[in-house]
Structure 1
Amino acid sequence: MKKILVILLLVGQLVYAQNKKAQDTTENELDNVFITANRTKTLRKETPVAISKITAKIIDETKASALYEIANKTPGVVMVNLGNEQHAMSIRQPISYSSYYLYLEDGLPIRPLGIFNHNALLEINQFNLQSIEIVKGPVSSLYGPEAIGGTINLISQKPSFYPEFKFGIQADQWGYKRIQAAGGATVGKIGFHVAGISSLQENSWMAQSDYKKDNLNVRVDYQINDNTRLISNTMVGNYFSDMSGSVNENDFNNRTYTSTSDFTYRKSEALRTRLTLEHEWNLNASSYLTVYHRDNKLGQNPSYSIRWNPVNNPTTATGEVNSNNFKSYGAIGQHTQKFKFWKTTMVSGTSFDFSPVTYWSYLLDLKATLNPGEIGKQTVKKYEIIAEHPETKLANYTADIYNTAIFKQITFTPIEKFIVTVGGRYDAMKLKYDNALDNSSGSKTYDKFTFRAGTNFNPFQEAGFYGNYSQGFAPPGITSIFTARTGTGGNTGIPAEFYYNLKPATFENFEFGGWVSLFENKLNFDYAIYYMEGSNELLSIKLEDNSTDYRSAGKTSHKGIEFGFNYKPTKQWNIRIGGTVAKHKYIDFKVSDKSTDVLQNLSGFEMPQAPRWAGNSEVSYYPNWLPNFRASVEWQLISSYYQDQVNTVKYAGYNLFNGRVGYKFKRIEVYSNVMNFTNKLYAYTVSRGNLTSSQPSYTAAAPRTFLVGIQYNLSLKK
């Protein structure tokens, strides 16, 4: 199947070369301008990576209640909804919570290196988005560590020249409602844009799932002169959510969406502010300097930290309360220089980030009330807190994180239609810490030079190929470093031991791809074929005494094909097909040092939560007979995948259909989204342990949901 797909794509390009007609005035897909892949405005046909752009039109028509509805329209991207805008991600990786993704806001990381959070995108204001650029595969040579599986750059709305204002409300039948407003204008040399949302969820289909979110974004541009501009951007956000957790198999199948806990929660307070000075020296040279500050407080009583032993102590469990707070002070400077020789463009830059962080967590004693069932295969009906132990710290440290980097990239055209891109970056993360649990102080340094080289070959005006080799690396998150080894610390009486010896994970990626536009730009498709290996990945190993140990020793492989197809036969119809076929395997993954365990190494096994197929396709209709009306049907496909590491049980996956309609009458727009149109029973994720007695955990997905909304749009554009 893979070979057939590749052959068809290549044949299509050759057919187009022999039969292409004169170019019309329609904007070509290959003329789309991207910023993320090269840190400067670059045409797609000059970018040797797999990159996709979600435009303002797509964002506006999706009318998403959560970001995953937008991101999943990108081939190769599966952003997993965990409820209340919480999420996991899968881009060239299995569905996971790993720190292999970099989330940017206007090119600046949302989190500092070392403090990755898989839920970071819940802080984003969807009503402030202009576009989204998604780079698939490692771009560590430009953006640094964690830019491995993918990089998502959320690009904010800019001030409009003419006064504009929009206000809207949306709600569904499950107690969700959101109010949103945005507006901006330019007066003289000053332009501004303000956007705010307030979301509320109460009494949903899932128990223990209320949430509230408030976000405000303010941007002010000051045009100092024709060549110099000062930009201020500030975001303030507050978030609080109950955490319902997963459900057992019986409750899932019966659609009994009760929660095993009524005390778990996640809360976030976030402030991000930045000031950027941009200057164009001449037509061939430009620079910018950004200084920024972050202030983030994240508190949790997380459902995923509940520990229950169904064999030894089935009626008791433990939990934890934790708090992770950090501030950041940083700067990034970049200069872009163009030369006539070989049409060369050179991008050079440096960055510095200082982020002091505090983290603590303490123990909870829980009572577990069991559901009736076979001994050893019982499940928990309810957890209750029977004692809190603030004096029993599971973690308690402060750390100062210093991140320093320099980067350079050169793009040149030695021969016509052949573009070469070479780049490199050196990152040094220095960690100074005080660990109260073992009364230790010290420092750690994680540094790495990453390299990237790629070529673009565009033999035809609207078709081309690219290839690249890129490296990536990710230091261990500091919460992993300061996690006490099993059986030490806490109330065990044994001095705590920590993971000061963890190493960064490293990745190598090889990639080939291409794109083509046919029939006067009515049909566009692109593809990417990749192979990536990871080394020193963090894993948990069972020891002889039945305790577990972290090690930086895992090795994995990731290979696949990503493809996107867009066909617009008339102005009334648009057909989009996109997806990926991939395989994620363990090359070397030693899960046990225990001599009595039959299975000690998972080499050759498929990774869990790794669907072979994933796709998102859509048919949109814009009837001539009813201008300003739109309707679309979307199909989301997730194929089967293994629930466990030992590849014994699979989850069947799902096919899901969504529908959207909208109509604009003068300044008023009304719309409705129907999510899970067929009311399918499915789960966002399913996982289980490796024992034969292990029971699956289902992150249940929402039943059929009707979202309705109305929006007022005002523009004084002449």
Structure 2
Amino acid sequence: MYYVRKLPLLIALASASATTMVSADNLNLDELVVTGTRSETSLLDLAGNTGKISESEIDLVRADHIEEVINRIPGVMIQRGNGQEHLTSIRSPVLTGGAGAGSFLFLQDGIPLRAAGFANVNGLFEAFSEQAGSIEVVRGPGSALYGSNAVHGLVNVITRAPSLDLERSIDMSVGPHDLYKTKATVSNTMGKHGYRLSFNGTTDGGYIDESGFDQQKLNFRYDYLGDVNSVTTIFTATNLNQETAGYTEGFNSYRDTHQVKATNSNPDAYRDAKSTRLSVRWDHDLSDDSYFTITPYFRSTELDFLMHFLPGTPVEKNEHQSVGLLASYTKEFEGGHKVIVGTDFEYTQGELSEVQEGATVFGRFVQGVHYDYDVDATVIAPYVHSEWQLAEKTRMTAGLRFEHTRYEYDNNTTGGLNFGAFQRPEDSNDTFNNLSPKLGFTHLVAEDTSIFTNIARGNRAPQTTDLYRIRNTQINGEADSEKVDSFEIGIRKVGNGIQYEITTFYMKKKDHFFRDSTGDNVPNGKTTHYGIELGAFIPLGEKFDLAGSFTYARHQYDFDNVGTDPNGSNSINDGDDIDTAPRHIGNLRLGWNIKPSSRLELEWLHVGRYYTDSGNVHSYNGHDLLNLRAQHQVNKNVTLYGRISNLLNTDYAERADYNYVNAFNNTDRYFVGEQAAVHIGASYNF
């Protein structure tokens, strides 16, 4: 049992020791994933979906922003804002605010990047994704091992393992608007001990006037592999200093001249963020068929930014520090059965302030301190995950998770009074208890093909901002835990030749808490989500291959809410499309391995039309883009690479939105996509 469980780590070490060169063999659908059970699992045995971006793809794409690599997975659409900002869609519309922060669980090596009630809508910029070993995405509610925020999906960035032999490399690249990137790593394994130290540094002068960012990331991993014990220690630190550009305003302004598109309507906007994380995972074998895993961890985050997207442009400052423990016991039984019993614990101290220094706007967005509060949060979540071999080719997965969340809120300003558009609740203690059952089946229809089905409930306790940063029109305490019931069925083929995964899904959500287009909170929304997702890899002879993903989905309101716009742009009607929810998105890549050491890839990106307001009055027509990238390994030490993004110089918007404040202040607005640009770089191993 011990040898089989540790073998994947040895394989990872061996693969990491060689110079990476992309080929058709390592761009296909990977047969092993780790996120669902926190251990290596064959895709054929997985009762549910998991999309995976391999180390080779990460090195080929060399993304300036994580959207460039993660959007290859079906059902996923990350919209880039300005700089390193983003909004996320995973089996969902693109969600914003507390809903955008709390509906997706962002992990690194299975540990949340942020505490459950203190999520960040731009949370992926804190992940060490640039030199990751892989990135896995679960669409829809996760397994019983994951709780709050794993409602619409989760993203797990997995740290690259140490190399077997000494590895030292430096990678440098240049791009448009004074974009410079440096990556460096040193790694080795000596006996039972292995390490990897990696650094990423980026400076970007900005595509938009008076914008740009500097970002640094450091990651250290130490592995110990003993006879009955293994230990993995991971430390990550990130720093971001960003001069943020706001939306470009005006109907179809993303099609205007570069001078207009590059205008920064919020030249004073900024975002400064710091984070540190430390985790130590200890695996101990008790016998040939049982082991336990304990992972204590610590995190600290700080964020300071100008809220340029709100009237009055207040400044928000927030931070939190957490200590946590993931503990589990795994027992395998004869006949192919397995049971995992565990508990997750986390304690967090957080604080937030929102201050508007400028003059009062519209009589509601008043000058002064809007909010200033502290929250202590405790999360305790016992769970059980089980797998049962019902027949030779049929396997059942069943799980149950109970999650207890308690917030202790302390208001540092005058409470119980409205302050313009804002309401500050009195001090309170709030508790949420959620139960999340899971049930799934897999059936092997051929040696390399299985069908699967999965029924799951996902829950999330409200974000602390949902509860304590509320508007004067909201009733204090009306936010409840959000619930999603999900059903999916699919088929997947792995191994040699054509590989694919086709999945259909249906989800119902209730108690959806979100902020409408006027900035007011809606606490009890209901929505419906259904669609079909396809991911495929097709070898075309020895040198060519075709890979891609396609999604058709409908995301609809399941309730009514009357808005204030006479034209209906901010009303919600039962059955209408949710805003920023294209019905179809796609990605297609044609690869050519010119020689064993050279690869060329042509990529087509498609985003369909979507509405930009909740009333389905205004819309964005979508776009199609072409990217071309190439990589050539000159010798064992030197690799050259380059790409042309937006090859046809298409006018497009990374994100389109319609903003309605009142009859005198409403407009279409866009985060403008970049024009055609050339990026070149080289890596050197020594």
The TM-score with structure 2 as length reference comes to: 0.89
1:232-311 correspondence runs (5 A): 232-249=233-250, 251-254=253-256, 255=258, 256=260, 257-305=262-310, 307=311
Aligned twin of 2:169: 166
Q: Residue 174 of structure 2 aligns to which amino acid in structure 1?
A: A
Q: Residue 632 of structure 1: which of 588, 594, 601 is its match?
A: 601
Query: Is residue 216 of structure 1 aligned with residue 202 of structure 2?
Result: no
> Quick check: 2:107–2:155 contact (8 Å CA) kept in 1?
yes
Look up the match of 1:616: 587
Partner of residue 679, structure 2: 707
- 2:17 corresponding residue in structure 1: none
Equivalent of residue 432 in structure 1, options 408, 417, 437: 408
Alpha-carbon offset, residue 252 of structure 1: 2.8
Counterparts of 2:88 and 2:654 in 1: how far apart (Å)? Answer: 11
Residue type at the aligned position of 1:672 = G
| 8 Å contact kept, 1:221–1:231 | yes
Q: Conserved in 2, the CA contact under 8 Å of 1:483 and 1:498?
A: no
Using the alignment, how far apart are the partners of 2:653 and 2:213 within structure 1? 20
Instruction: Provide the C-alpha distance between the structure 1 equivalents of 2:650 and 2:516, rounded to a whole number of angstroms.
Output: 38
Q: Corresponding residue for 1:196?
A: 199
1:672 paired with 2:642, answer yes
Out of 247-256 and 78-87, give the one that drifted further. 247-256
1:401 paired to 2:400:
no
Relative to structure 1, the CA distance from residue 367 to residue 709 in structure 2 (aligned partners, 3 Å threshold; closer, same or farther) is: farther
1:122 match: secondary structure: helix
The question of whether the paired residues in 1 share the 8 Å contact of 2:242 and 2:272 is answered with yes
- Check conservation: 2:58, 2:130, Cα contact below 8 A: no
Q: CA offsets, 1:634-663, max 9 Å, x none?
A: 011000011111112221000011110111
Q: Look up the match of 1:533.
A: 508
* Residue type of the alignment partner of 1:34: V
Show the 5 A alignment for 1:272-671: 272-305=277-310, 307=311, 318-340=312-334, 342-365=335-358, 392-439=368-415, 440-486=426-472, 499-516=476-493, 521-540=496-515, 549-592=520-563, 601-624=572-595, 627-666=596-635, 667-671=637-641
Instruction: Tell me the SS of whatever aligns to 1:604.
Output: coil
Q: Give, as a single letter, the amino acid of the residue that structure 2 aligns with 1:470.
A: A
Question: Is the Cα–Cα contact under 8 Å of residues 140 and 146 in structure 1 kept in the other structure?
Answer: no
Q: In the superposition, relative to structure 1, how do residues 590 and 692 fare at CA in structure 2: closer, same or farther (>3 Å)?
A: same
Read off the aligned partner of 1:527 and give its amino acid letter. Answer: I
**More deviation, 30-39/113-122:** 30-39
8 A contact 1:241–1:266 mirrored in 2: yes
How far did residue 96 of structure 1 move? Answer: 1.9
SS of 1:304's equivalent in the other structure is coil
In structure 2, the residue corresponding to 1:83 is in which secondary structure? Answer: coil
Higher mean alpha-carbon deviation, 225-234 vs 344-353, is at 225-234
Q: Structure 2 CA distance, aligned partners of 1:664 and 1:134?
A: 30
Q: Could you say which residue in structure 2 is the equivalent of 1:695?
A: 667
Measured after TM superposition, the shift of residue 155 of structure 1 is 0.5
Gaps of 5+ in 1: 1-25, 308-317, 369-386, 488-496
| Deviation digits for residues 39-69 of structure 1 (CA, Å, limit 9, x no counterpart) | 3221101101111111111111112122111
Q: State the secondary structure of the residue aligned to 2:338.
A: strand
Structure 1 residues 245 and 28, CA gap change in structure 2 (3 angstroms)? closer
Contact 1:165 1:182 in 2 (8 A): yes
Specify the SS of the correspondent of 1:278: strand
**Aligned Cα root-mean-square deviation (Å):** 2.5
- Contact 2:611/2:619 (CA < 8 Å) preserved in 1? yes
Q: Which moved more, 1:410-419 or 1:436-445?
A: 436-445
Give the number of the structure whose alpha-carbon radius of gyration is greater. 1
Using the alignment, how far apart are the partners of 2:29 and 2:548 within structure 1?
18
Change (3 A) 1:209 1:411: same
The aligned amino acid for 2:331 is Q
Show the 5 A alignment for 1:95-134: 95-97=94-96, 98=100, 99-134=102-137
SS of the residue 1:480 aligns to: helix
Q: Which has the higher mean CA deviation after the structures are superposed, 526-535 or 562-571?
A: 562-571
Determine the C-alpha separation between the residues in 2 that align with 1:262 and 1:548: 23
The answer for unaligned runs of 5 or more in structure 2 is 1-24, 416-425
CA contact (8 A) 1:127 1:182 kept: no
Percent identity of the aligned residues? 23
SS at match of 1:260: coil
Instruction: Please say which of residues 693-702 and 460-469 is displaced more in the overlay.
Output: 693-702
Q: CA deviation at 1:533?
A: 0.6
Aligned equivalents of 1:548, 1:676: Cα separation in 2: 34
CA distance in 2 between counterparts of 1:551 and 1:102 reads 22
- The question of whether the paired residues in 2 share the 8 Å contact of 1:499 and 1:550 is answered with no
C-alpha displacement of 1:29? 7.0
Give the drift of 1:431. Answer: 0.3
- Secondary structure of 2:69's match? helix
Equivalent residues of 1:31, 1:45 under 8 A apart? no
Distance in 2 of aligned mates of 1:674 and 1:173: 11
685 and 216 in structure 1: CA distance in 2 versus 1, 3 angstrom threshold: same
Q: Partner residue of 1:153?
A: 156
Q: Secondary structure at the match of 1:678?
A: coil
The residue correspondences of 1:2-151 to structure 2 (distance < 5 A) are 32-97=31-96, 98=100, 99-139=102-142, 141-151=144-154
Give 1:174 deviation, angstroms: 1.3
Q: CA deviation at 1:665?
A: 1.1
> What is the distance in 1 between the residues matched to 2:519 and 2:40?
48
Cα distance in 1 for residues equivalent to 2:556 and 2:439? 26
Matched to 1:48, the amino acid is A
CA–CA separation in structure 1 for the residues paired with 2:215 and 2:603:
27
Instruction: Give CA deviations for 1:295-329 in whole Å, capped at 9, x if unaligned.
Output: 11111112122x1xxxxxxxxxx120111010001
- Counterpart-to-counterpart distance in 2, 1:66 and 1:155: 17
Corresponding residue for residue 378 of structure 1: none
Q: Is the CA contact (8 Å cut-off) linking 2:546 and 2:589 kept in structure 1?
A: yes
Task: Indicate conservation of the 8 Å contact 1:140/1:148, yes or no.
Answer: no
Offset of residue 142 of structure 1 = 2.1
Q: 2: distance between equivalents of 1:455 and 1:34? A: 17
Q: Secondary structure at the match of 1:49?
A: coil
Q: Which whole-Å CA distance do the structure 1 matches of 2:231 and 2:381 have between them?
A: 24
Change (3 A) 1:27 1:118: closer
Partner Cα distance (1:616, 1:559) in 2:
20
**TM-score, length basis structure 1:** 0.85
**1:481 partner SS:** helix
Distance in 2 (CA, whole Å) between partners of 1:293 and 1:356 is 12
**What's the counterpart of residue 23 of structure 1?**
none
Question: Cα distance, 1:500 vs. partner?
Answer: 2.5
Give the distance between the partners of 1:699 and 1:36, measured in 2 at CA: 33
Structure 2 CA distance for partners of 1:262 and 1:420, relative to 1, 3 Å: same
Letter in 1 for 2:201: S
Distance 1:232 1:548, change over 3 A: closer
Tell me how far 1:700 sits from its aligned partner. Answer: 0.6
The alpha-carbon distance between structure 1 residues 591 and 290, as it changes in their structure 2 partners (threshold 3 A), is farther
**Deviation of residue 179 (structure 1)?**
1.0
Q: 1:686 maps to which residue? A: 656
Query: What is the DSSP-based 3-state SS (H/G/I as helix, E as strand, rest coil) of the residue aligned with 2:427?
Result: strand
Q: Report the Cα offset of residue 119 of structure 1.
A: 0.9
CA distance in 2, matches of 1:477, 1:506: 14
